Structure formats: C-alpha cells, structure tokens
Amino acid sequence: MTLSDLNVAAPELILAGSALLLLMWGAFQGRSNFAYGAAAVLALVAAACAAALGVQGRIFSGGLIADDLSAFAKVFIYGFSAVSIPLGERWLQRRGDNKFEFNVLIILAALGMGMMVSAGDLIALYIGIELQSLALYVLAAFRRDDAKASEAGLKYFVLGALSSGLLLYGASLIYGFAGSTQFPVIAEAVSQGAGGGVLFGLVFLICGIAFKVSAAPFHMWTPDVYEGAPTPVVGFFAAAPKLAAMVLLARVLSEGFGSALEQWRQVIVAMALLSIFVGAFGGLVQRNLKRLWAYSSIANIGYALLGLAAGAEVGVQSMLLFMVLYMVDVTGFFACLSALQRDGKPMETIDDMAGLIKERPALALALTAFALSALGLPPFAGFWAKYYVFKAAIGGGLTVAAVLGLVGSVVAAFYYLRLIKVMWFDPTVGATERPPFEARSVAVAAALFSFPAVLVALVWLDPLAKAAAAVLG
Amino acid sequence: MALQAIAFYVMATVTVFAALAVVLAKNPVHSVLFLITAFFSAAGLFVLLGAEFLAMLLVVVYVGAVAVLFLFVVMMLDVDFVALRQGFARYLPIGGVIAGILTIEMIVVATMVATKGAASRVSGPQASLPDVTNAETIGRVLYTDYVYFFQAAGLVLLVAMIGAIVLTLRHKPGVRRQNVSAQTARNPKSGMRMVDIQPGAGEGE
C-alpha cells in the first residue's frame, strides 16, 4: 500500500488527530467552554463529511474498510456523538463538573465506533470495541463524586471486561480453526466446512457483542448503568454505540459467516425474542424512567436483531433503518429527561412527570411523541421502524418470531401508555425549573422528526440504507 | 528429544500446580508468588515451542510489571481476604457447574484440534523462514502490515490513561506549591513590610 491509500482512513485520522489536539488544548485550559465544545463538534462533523464523501476501499489488508455500509453508519454515529457534546457539556457545566476530557472521550469513543463499523478483521473488531467501551466506562463514572455514577461505571467496567473476555475467547477459536483473522479468509474456511470449532468461536463472539448491545440474556448491566450514569451520557450510550455494534455484527455474520446462515440465525432469533420479552415484562415494574428506557432499549435491540436474523439485504436494510429511527427517539427522550428539573433535583420517576402537560407543554408533547413512537403507533417513526423489521422477518421466513415480536410490543405498550396518562391526566406536583435551551431544542427537534419529518426523511433514508445493505448482500 | 520431553513435562506440571496454588493458597502474597512461578514455567513452554520472543515478553511484562503490581496492591490495600472467602461454600455449586461446562467445552475443542488439526483446511499463517528468528518476523510485520492495529492499540492505552486521570486526579484547594520564579523575583520591597509600631500598642497580628 502507498501513502495515498491513507485517504480511505480520512475520518479516523481526523478524529484521532483532533482528539490529540483537543487534549493538548484542554491541558492548558482546564475547563471546557463554548469554543472548546464547538471545536469538538466541528471535528466530528468534519469526520462525518469525510466518511460520506471520501474515498472508499479496503486498506491494511482488510483491517479498515470504507464502503457504503460503513459510510452510512459513520455519518449517523459521528452525528449523534456531535449532538451529545453540547447536551453533556452544558449539563455538566451546570453541575460545575465540565472537565474538558468529556469532549475528548466522546471523540475517542466515536473513533472506536467508526473502527468497529469498518472492521474487516478480528483484531480490528476487538480494538474498535475496546476503544469504544473503555471511553464509555469512563463516561459512565464521569461524575466520580456521585455514588450511583461510580457504581454504574464499575458495574459497566466489570461486566464489559467479562464480555471482552468471551469475545476474545471466541475470536481465538475462530482464528485457530479458520487460520486467519480476516473475514474473507474465515468465510472461505467456513464455506469449505470448517466445522464445529469455528461455530463454537462464533457463538462466543456473538455473546460478546450481545453484551455490548445489551441484548438478553446479556442485558443485566443495562438498567443499573442507565440509572446511575449522567443522563446525557445515557442518551449517548443508548444510541450510537448500539448502531456501531449492530453494524459490526451484521458485517461479521455476513462477510465472515455468510454460508453458516442457518447456524447463527437460530442464535440471533433466540436472542431477539428473549430481548423483546425481557424488555417488555421487565419494564412493567419500573418507576424510574431511566431504568424503564433501559428495558425499552433492550426490547428495541430485540427488534433490530430480528431484522438482522431475516438475513440477506432486506434484513440488514431493515436493521439499519430501525436503528437510525430508534436513535433519534432515544436521543430526544434523554434530552427531555436531562432538561427537566424540580427544586434542583432531576425528575426521573414516572410520578415526577405528573401533570407535566400544564407545566411544560412542549417537553410533555415531545415525551408523548417519543412514547407513542416507541410504542409503534402509526404514523410515528417507531411504527415505520417496526414495519420494516416485521416485513423483513416475514419475508425471511420468520413468521412465528414476527408474531411473537408483535405480542411483545403489545405488552410493552402498557408502560408507554402509563407514562402518557400520568403526564396528561394526573394533577401536577409542583413547578418545574426552566429547561435549558440546548436540551429543549434537541428534544423538540427529535420529536418533530419522530412525527412529521420522518415521512419525508424515509424517502431518502430508504434508498441509502438499501445501498448500504447491498454491500453485504 | 527426550530432554525436550522431560523439560516439557516438568514445566507443564509446575504450571498446572502453581496455577492451582494461586487459587488455593491462604495467604494472598503466596498466591502472587505462585502466579509468578506459573508465568515463568509458561515462558519456558513458549521457549520449547520456539517462540522465544513471546517467552521474553511474558517474563518482562507479566512477571516484571503485572505480577509486581499485584504484589503492591495485595500488600498496600488492606483487603480482608477471609471475608472475601466467606461465600465460597455458597457459590460452590453454581461455580462448579460453570467450571464443569467450561471443562467439557475445552475437551471438545481440544479433541477437535487433535483430530482435524487447527487451520488444516486453509492456507493459514505459515511458519517463519528458517533463517529468521521469530522476534525478527514479528518486527517485520508490526510496523508494516499491522501498523493500523498497533496505532489503534496505542489509542486504547491513551483512553485508559485519560480515564485514570479523570477518575482519580483531584486538585486540592489550598495546597502550597513551590513557585521558583516567584521566589527568585522576591526583593526587599516585596519581602518586607515596614510597620510603624506605636509605643504600648503592639502590632495587630
């Protein structure tokens, strides 16, 4: 390879370079301020542009792949990371904890996620996951004087390390039996019937990735971590890293194990259904909204996995669309939560939301939109997301699984409707504080996307996701 | 050959027993020392396999750094190991089940390797050229083919460093630091204060 091949890695180089520069700048400045945050956002936007418009190709013998799929995923990953910087930075500033490292860690996490979606090699896969997760562990415990945040960070770290161990064990088995860490070579070995050892490794690899996307039965860290971590950080956790891990899973399964579709499909379907039901039933007893949305995210990952299990191009396309629409909703929801305060305390339980429609009509309407969307009511974004997934699942011959998924979403409807009922019809508890500008605008923008804008957006999202999925088809 | 076989069996036995002793030793310092023994004999096994470089890495990194770090942690943190062991009987059944499953899996995988041979189907990584040592082979690819992974691993370490600093560094207020330039720039004017003391009144401080 020549030096000009590095053009393919332009987004990664931009992010790595700007992370180092920002680190230097921050060391002299100490606290993050408007200009510092703006520079971090600018770096992410530049990387997103580079990913969308840059050169495509495979470099480092498949370690870094830039194609339509990675470009699609990277634009959204960098975009949502950029949104989380002002949200998180202002939130921390109001609590006097706006250390500059927050911005640097978000950029490095975004870099790791970009490496994940571009990985065509088991080593790149592992390093990408690790770069992303390590940054997220630190972000979860970022408010170190808060006991709950520290607990969240520690739990996330210990369980994440365990999952990395599973993943590495699987990767080493695959390497041992297939003879290479590169996906195309593994695919060749699998199609020649590499046998049980590779599949053993694959199951461990899937388990390790399932931990990262919090799919059941590897979901147990999610509610605790979401409850304890700073609210805007949770909004970040629940969105971009999941898309990255799902795209990574799709790429491993189709590029590396395409001919073993029947073997891994049953694992993915089982995890999908388990996630949908754990999410639906686990959420019923939650009073804390962050925990509730943790279960909601578990259920949503179940639907995304169902789309993936449908296989082929349609399945991957439905998974990509589902994840993008879900990410908008979940970012908006956590922006609402981070905006709402009463008497200096964050409003985090369902009871806190009583009568919110009279207090803060805009935010209450936004929350209503997110709840209805998560419920899957037409014409909200969540409906279209589920529509694509179920269409792909039925087309892929998973009719029974699709019906069970629908049942799960009916069960989950209960807690979304309860939140709406409490907000609209219960008497108000007291005055809330004025919501900060940036969180309110993100929430309202996401809510507007969730209802009218999604109809227009799907017109161009649909072919883009199709082109991205065609890479694996 | 016989010498190699003897060396292998001696070192393999020592590794297994040292690893068992790590878990079973009552005194945590003994556990760490057994861990070092296990690392050393594993390094010996690597030498037998012809992987001198890995053997050296194992000694330098694990024995030199990691195990010594463990030793520091064990000695400096006052962890009550008796209390840590109290759940032993309670968690024994579930732990035993998991250990049993893992053992069966290991045996299955090992038999698969033994019967079919790992990587027998594809042209996997080839043995290095006879006239090149394995340290040189690694050196040839580390900064060329694997430069991306190498640099990315560096970024992972950078994140770990940032994380450690974010989570532990505290700027204590009121710490008096030595400021050399302020000290040398001090002159009689800034260092002395002339006070006109009234007779019988004294100075305030």
The tens digit of pLDDT for each residue in A195-228 reads: 778 888 899 999 999 999 999 889 989 999 999 9
pLDDT at position B124 = 46
**What contacts A34, CB < 8 A, 6 or more positions away?**
none
Residue range A294-320: mean pLDDT, rounded: 91
**With contact defined as beta carbons under 8 Å apart, do B34 and B72 qualify?**
no
Nearest to A443 by CA among A382, A353, A362, A389: A362
H helices within chain B, ranges in order?
Answer: 2-24, 28-49, 52-57, 68-76, 81-84, 88-116, 134-142, 147-168, 180-184, 188-191
pLDDT in tens, A251-284: 999 988 888 888 889 999 999 999 999 999 999 9
Burial class (CB in 10 A: 0-12, 13-18, 19+), A429: middle
Q: Model confidence over A94-142: pLDDT tens digits?
A: 888 888 999 999 999 999 999 999 999 999 999 999 999 999 999 999 9
pLDDT digits (tens, 9 = 90+) for A147-191: 899 999 999 999 999 999 999 999 998 988 888 899 998 898 888
pLDDT at B123: 47
A371-397 residue pLDDT tens: 999 988 888 999 999 999 999 999 988
Residue A250 contacts B where some CB pair is shorter than 8 Å: no
Does residue B104 lie within any of the structural domains?
no
B9: domain CATH number?
A: 1.20.120.1200
Exposed e or buried b per residue across A183-222, where buried means at least 16 C-beta atoms within 10 angstroms of its C-beta: bebbbbbbeeebeebbbbbbbbbbbbbbbbbbbbebbebb
Q: Where are the alpha helices (DSSP H) in A216-257?
A: 221-228, 231-237, 240-251, 257
Which residue segment(s) compose the domain that B138 sits in? 132-169
Residue B155 lies in a domain: yes
Q: Determine the residue type at B202.
A: G
Task: Show which of residues 148-207 on chain A sit within 8 Å of chain B, judged by CB atoms.
Answer: 153, 173, 176-180, 185, 188-189, 192-197, 200
Q: How far apart are the first and last CA of chain B?
A: 88
Per-residue pLDDT at B122: 47
Write out residues in chain B with pLDDT < 50, as ranges: 119, 122-124
- On whether residue B197 sits in a domain, the answer given is no
Q: Among A4, A34, A5, A37, which Cα is nearest to A22's?
A: A37
Report d(CA A89, CA A86) in Å as an integer: 5
In tens, the pLDDT along A335-345 reads 999 988 888 88
Q: Are A444 and A366 in contact (CB under 8 A)?
A: yes
Q: What is the pLDDT of residue A114?
A: 94
Which residue in chain A has the smallest CA separation from B148? A60
The pairs formed by B81-86 with CB atoms below 8 angstroms and a separation of 24 or more are: B81/B28
Q: What is the pLDDT of residue B205?
A: 54
Domain boundaries, chain A: 3-470
Q: Which residues of B touch A (CB under 8 A)?
A: 105, 108-109, 112-113, 116, 118-119, 121-125, 145-149, 151-153, 155-156, 158-160, 162-163, 165-168
As for how many domains chain B has, the answer is 2
- How far, in Å, CA of A314 to CA of A297, rounded? 22
Angle at A154 between CA A151 and CA A157, to 5 degrees: 145
Closest-CA distance of chain B to residue A420, Å: 38
Instruction: Provide the token pair at A185.
Output: 């070579």
Tokens of A39: 């520079």
Of B112, B124, B162, the CB nearest to A196: B112
Per the domain annotation, does B76 fall within a domain?
A: yes
